């Protein structure tokens, strides 16, 4: 066990400066997460309900929905490029300044979507400009969430890393909730009012979140583990080379862990909304309301899952979430096909709130713990964004295509969710447990020896449990 590991758990309470920086890092990461997922949820819901009519009005309605979903997925082409580009900079120059650039790029592109001309105004240039904005958004987002994840894991007290690393992801739920709430209201408006320009207002409002995030991040200090890396002159000259030579097994594990979490998120946040509104024909406000309820549940379930991962390990919590989604796949999509508004809300909210977010809560600390200190940022970013292409980016497009060619059958969608969940569940059995790992180590977790694992800090226990254990030991003497 390193000195760093031993000191970290106490620092949050004993060192006021450390505690202040921990709070600042949590807030900085949370606001960024809120902006990213506000933008992505907003774009996803608009893709399902608006963009086919505004930017693809010259196409057949069913084809327009597929094209609209394709613009949603196109950002996932840029995300790995952004993750590699900014991840390399983050491992060479530090986490803070990368997070400033990515939030400005991502949020600026989202704001500009709100001023784009429609297809009726400029023809083919409308979808071209939309795709360009989406590419810019994806390029910035490719390193934003990875940076927030790494930053919080490196700042957090080691025995409570799962809980603290999960706290910024409340911002994901808040951003998704905000976007869904906006569309619940927009769904009650007459179609002609909505399409006349009201849909632009939520995108323009992104600029407020950008300003808040930039203000907070300018006051943020660099992560303590990166500072230690600089002091010891161990910063990697080529972190990208390290990732694709010595660290690729960890990247593959990260991708596998993300398939159900990321793919399931977009399938239930976006495609399910399009399915129940466009194919089943329920009210346009029902889908966004279901997403909003799921996000409310997630505001509790994500940090709670992070806390449980501190107590019982990352892998058991992760397996529960993957197994939950796997079991829900077939009955869940069948229930959605019935078109009952109450059932739709329950299924989407449960899938997001418990299935997806249980995995997310454990993942927040686990992905950074998988990688060594020299290439952690780019390792997390590469794992996240390659999986985002394979799972999140393809999910809405393939799903919309399945719906189109099968006339609205639910079975292919259920099979899709089942396969993604099975991949992630299987990956948990070839991934090492990482709870309590020293983040100053240069090698990946897969290379840790049995002695390395045995000397990690033990799980955090409550005061009540600590007193009970102390009494038992005292009595036995």
Residue 473 has pLDDT above 50, yes or no: no
Residue 126's pLDDT band, with cuts at 50, 70 and 90, is confident
Most confident of 159-173, 211-225, 303-317, 445-459: 303-317
Tell me the mean pLDDT in the region 14-42: 73
Q: Which of 169, 477, 431 is nearest to 298 (CA)?
A: 169
Considering only 34-48, 138-152, 161-175, which range has the smallest mean pLDDT? 34-48
Q: Model confidence over 354-366: pLDDT tens digits?
A: 999 999 999 999 9
Residue, of 394 and 6, whose pLDDT is higher: 394
Q: Percentage of the chain with pLDDT > 90?
A: 23
Task: Map out the domains of the chain as residue ranges.
Answer: 15-446
| Mean per-residue pLDDT of the chain | 81
pLDDT of residue 18: 67
Residue 34's pLDDT band, with cuts at 50, 70 and 90, is confident
Considering only 281-290, 319-328, 338-347, 415-424, which range has the smallest mean pLDDT? 281-290
Residue 373 has pLDDT above 90, yes or no: no
Write out the chain in H/E/C secondary structure.
CCHHHHHHHHHHHHCHHHHHHHHHHHHHHHHHHHHHHHHHHHHHHHHHHCHHHHCCCCCCHHHHHHHHHHHHHHHHHHHHHHHHHHHHHHHHHCHHHHHHHHHHHHHHHHHHHCCCCCHHHHCCHHHHHHHHHHHHHHHHHHHHHHHHHHHHHHHCCHHHHHHHHHHHHHHHHHHHHHHHHHHHHHCCCCHHHHHHHHCHHHHHCHHHHHHHHHHHHHCCCCCHHHHHHHHCCCCCCCHHHHHHHCCHHHHHHHHHHHHHHHHHHHHHHHHHHHHHHHHCCCCCCHHHHHHHHHHHHHHHHHHHHHHHHHHHCHHHHHHHHHHHHHHHHHHHHHHHHCCCHHHHHHHHHHHHHHHHHHHHHHHHHHHHHHCCHHHHHHHHHHHHHHHHHHHHHHHHHHHHHHHHHHCCCCHHHHHHHHHHHHHHHHHCCCCCCCCCCCCCCCCCHHHCCHHHHHCCCCCCCCHHHHHHHHHHHHHHC
Q: Which of 276, 302, 293 is nearest to 410 (CA)?
A: 276
CATH fold of 15-446, please? Growth Hormone; Chain: A; (1.20.1250)
pLDDT of residue 255: 95
Tell me the mean pLDDT in the region 47-63: 72
This prediction has a pTM of: 0.78
Q: Model confidence over 397-449: pLDDT tens digits?
A: 787 788 888 888 889 889 999 999 999 999 999 999 999 898 888 899 998 88
Q: Model confidence over 199-223: pLDDT tens digits?
A: 888 888 888 878 888 888 887 777 7
Residue 4 has pLDDT above 70, yes or no: no
CB 386 within 8 A of CB 334: no
Residue 303 has pLDDT above 90, yes or no: yes
Considering only 91-95, 131-135, 159-163, 393-397, which range has the smallest mean pLDDT? 393-397
Residue 256 has pLDDT above 70, yes or no: yes
Most confident of 102-111, 164-173, 296-305, 461-470: 296-305
pLDDT of residue 27: 79
Residue, of 369 and 143, whose pLDDT is higher: 369
Residue whose entry in the numeric block shows the structure tokens 């979430």: 321
Residue 459's pLDDT band, with cuts at 50, 70 and 90, is low
Residue 252 has pLDDT above 90, yes or no: yes
Q: Percentage of the chain with pLDDT > 70?
A: 88
pLDDT of residue 16: 62
- CA 319/CA 363 separation, integer angstroms: 11
- CA 288/CA 269 separation, integer angstroms: 8
Residue, of 227 and 369, whose pLDDT is higher: 369
Tell me the mean pLDDT in the region 370-387: 90
- CA 69/CA 205 separation, integer angstroms: 23
């Amino acid at each position: 066990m390193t000195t760093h590991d031993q000191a970290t758990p106490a620092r949050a309470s004993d060192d006021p400066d450390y505690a202040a920086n921990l709070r600042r890092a949590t807030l900085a990461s949370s606001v960024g997460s809120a902006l990213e997922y506000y933008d992505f949820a907003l774009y996803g819901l608009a893709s399902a309900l608006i963009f086919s009519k505004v930017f693809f009005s010259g196409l057949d309605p069913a084809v327009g929905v597929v094209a609209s979903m394709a613009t949603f997925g196109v950002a996932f082409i840029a995300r790995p490029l952004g993750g590699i580009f900014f991840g390399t900079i983050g491992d060479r120059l530090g986490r803070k300044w990368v997070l400033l650039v990515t939030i400005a790029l991502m949020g600026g592109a989202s704001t500009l979507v709100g001023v784009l001309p429609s297809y009726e105004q400029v023809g083919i240039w409308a979808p071209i400009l939309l795709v360009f904005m989406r590419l810019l958004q994806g390029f910035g987002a490719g390193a934003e969430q990875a940076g927030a994840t790494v930053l919080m894991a490196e700042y957090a007290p080691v025995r409570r890393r799962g809980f603290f690393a999960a706290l910024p992801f409340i911002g994901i739920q808040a951003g998704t909730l905000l976007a869904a709430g906006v569309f619940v209201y927009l769904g009650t408006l007459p179609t002609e009012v909505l399409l006349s320009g009201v849909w632009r207002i939520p995108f323009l409002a992104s600029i407020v979140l950008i300003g808040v995030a930039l203000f907070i991040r300018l006051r943020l200090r660099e992560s303590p583990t990166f500072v230690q890396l600089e002091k010891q002159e161990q910063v990697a000259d080529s972190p990208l080379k390290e990732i694709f030579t010595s660290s690729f097994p960890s990247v593959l594990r990260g991708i596998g862990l993300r398939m159900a979490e990321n793919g399931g998120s977009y399938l239930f946040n976006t495609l399910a909304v399009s399915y129940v509104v466009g194919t089943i024909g329920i009210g346009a406000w029902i889908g966004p309301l279901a997403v909003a309820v799921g996000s409310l549940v997630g505001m509790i379930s994500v940090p709670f899952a992070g806390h449980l991962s501190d107590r019982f390990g990352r892998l058991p919590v992760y397996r529960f979430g993957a197994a939950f989604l796997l079991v829900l796949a077939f009955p869940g999509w069948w229930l959605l096909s019935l078109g009952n508004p109450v059932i739709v809300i329950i299924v989407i909210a449960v899938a997001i709130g418990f299935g997806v977010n249980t995995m997310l809560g454990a993942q927040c600390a686990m992905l950074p713990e998988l990688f060594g200190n020299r290439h952690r940022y780019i390792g997390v970013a590469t794992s996240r964004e390659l999986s985002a292409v394979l799972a999140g980016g393809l999910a809405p497009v393939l799903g919309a295509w399945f719906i189109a060619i099968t006339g609205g059958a639910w079975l292919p969608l259920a099979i899709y969710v089942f396969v993604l969940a099975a991949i992630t569940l299987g990956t948990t059995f070839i991934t090492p447990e990482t709870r309590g790992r020293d983040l100053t180590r240069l090698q990946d977790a897969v290379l840790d020896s049995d002695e390395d694992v045995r000397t990690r800090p033990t799980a955090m226990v409550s005061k009540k449990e600590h007193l009970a254990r102390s009494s038992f030991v005292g009595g036995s003497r």
